Amino acid sequence: MSDNNEPLLSSDELSAIQEMVDSGEFEQEPFNVNLEAEAFSVARNEENLGVSYGALTQINERFHRFFRTRMLTELDYNPRLSVATPQLMKYSEYIRSVASPSSINVIELEPLKGEALIIVHPQVVFSCLDNWYGGQARSLVVGDERGFTANENAIIDRLCELMFKSTVEAWSPYVEIGINLVNRDINPLFANIAGDDESVVVNRFLIRLRDEDSEPYIDIVYTYRSLNLQRDLLSSRIQTQEADQKWLDRLNATISEVDFNMYVRGGNLELSVDQLMNLKVGEVLSFNPPDVAEINVNDFPLYHATVGEAGKKVAVQIVDNVYKEDI
């Protein structure tokens, strides 16, 4: 209908269209029947993750780097560690998928609200222990009801210590966190950090064992609610980091093209006005060089150096900064 309540098409026009349809002149084709569905990843959708995907990815990459380094230096274990894409899941769905017996660690992360989980797959524990005692870091087949031995619990303690430190460092560019261990068990039913229908964000780190196809894992699980409370902070922080990095890149590119004048002050001579007036071309001035020369950049004293020779040329070797506190 138009604004004056009259039909947009007259009765004659409508009749003409109907005749075309009846005669076959006007083909009726189904509308949008061949549309292809586009895959949609809930895990990569920031609105669903409750936190900047970029920030969470950077936190996971930093954890991966710090944790892998610590395993090598402190456990003499160099696993093939990789980072999986963060996944958004219902808590009940996730907790039913946890392998048994796993090391299930309930932790508090201040200032994040609520609790989180660090879950260590049993084969990670067994391979670490085998490597610690000189083995090939192989897995071990055990029953679901088997608990961890004293030696295995000692490895779990060490792994958790390394993971806690790595998690703190991973979050440090965004927010300073503290970690407290609340409880540890092998039964997933005792890890009630969220309701069955509540959402959690699962951050998985896969470990490929030697000569084996299995990929045991370490999971860090945050509740959707706790990450959502930090959403604005993390989003603004990563935007600031990106802007700062671009500024630094431009600054470094500009500075690298700047030319500086550098000269070495190797000593001083005291001359009277009469001696100065009588100087002639080719005259040799003798003086005792100082033990330490001064290197100036654009008339600014920057380094102390010793004077010597390199081949057939006079050379200086830098020994320290003039202003140690400022450089």
Concatenating the DSSP letter of every residue in 64-82 gives HHHHHHHHHHHH----EEE
| 3.30.1050.10, 3.40.1550.10, 3.40.50.720, 3.40.50.300: CATH of 46-242 | 3.40.1550.10
Report d(CA 122, CA 103) in Å as an integer: 7
Looking at the chain, the domain(s) classified CATH 3.40.1550.10 span 46-242
Residue 318: pLDDT band with limits 50, 70, 90: confident
pLDDT at 11: 75
The SS3 assignment for 262 reads strand
pLDDT at 83: 93
pLDDT at 1: 53
Q: Is 24 exposed, middle or buried (0-12, 13-18, 19+ CB in 10 A)?
A: exposed
**What tokens does 299 get?**
């008339």
**Does the structure show a pLDDT above 80 at 59?**
yes
Q: How many residues does the chain have?
A: 327
Report d(CA 315, CA 263) in Å as an integer: 12
Helix (H) or strand (E) holding 118: strand 115-120
Between CA 56 and CA 164, with CA 187 as vertex, the angle to 5 degrees is: 35
CB neighbours of residue 137 within 10 Å = 20
The β-bridge relationship of strands 87-90 and 199-208 is: antiparallel
The β-bridge relationship of strands 262-265 and 217-223 is: unpaired
Report d(CA 245, CA 65) in Å as an integer: 20
pLDDT at 159: 94
**CA-CA-CA-CA torsion for 182, 185, 190, 196, nearest 10 degrees?**
90
The separation between CA 292 and the C-alpha centre of its own chain, rounded to angstroms, equals 45
Report d(CA 195, CA 29) in Å as an integer: 49
Structure confidence by residue, pLDDT tens digits, 97-128? 998 789 999 999 888 888 999 999 988 998 88
pLDDT at 287: 74
26-30, 45-49, 122-126: segment of lowest average pLDDT? 45-49
pLDDT at 326: 42
Helix (H) or strand (E) holding 301: strand 300-310
pTM, whole model, 2 decimals?
0.58
CB neighbours of residue 43 within 10 Å = 16
Q: How many CA atoms lie within 13 A of 258 on its CB side?
A: 10
Residue 304: pLDDT band with limits 50, 70, 90: confident
Looking at the chain, the domain(s) classified CATH 2.30.330.10 span 262-279+286-321
**Does the structure show a pLDDT above 50 at 244?**
no
The SS3 assignment for 192 reads coil
pLDDT at 239: 47
**Does the structure show a pLDDT above 70 at 19?**
yes
Architecture in CATH of 262-279+286-321: Roll (2.30)
46-55, 243-252, 263-272: segment of lowest average pLDDT? 243-252
CB neighbours of residue 90 within 10 Å = 16
**Do residues 264 and 230 touch, judged by C-beta distance below 8 A?**
no
Between CA 241 and CA 217, with CA 50 as vertex, the angle to 5 degrees is: 85
**Does the structure show a pLDDT above 80 at 253?**
no
pLDDT at 38: 56
Share of the chain above pLDDT 90, in %: 23
Report d(CA 307, CA 316) in Å as an integer: 4
Structure confidence by residue, pLDDT tens digits, 204-218? 999 887 656 678 899
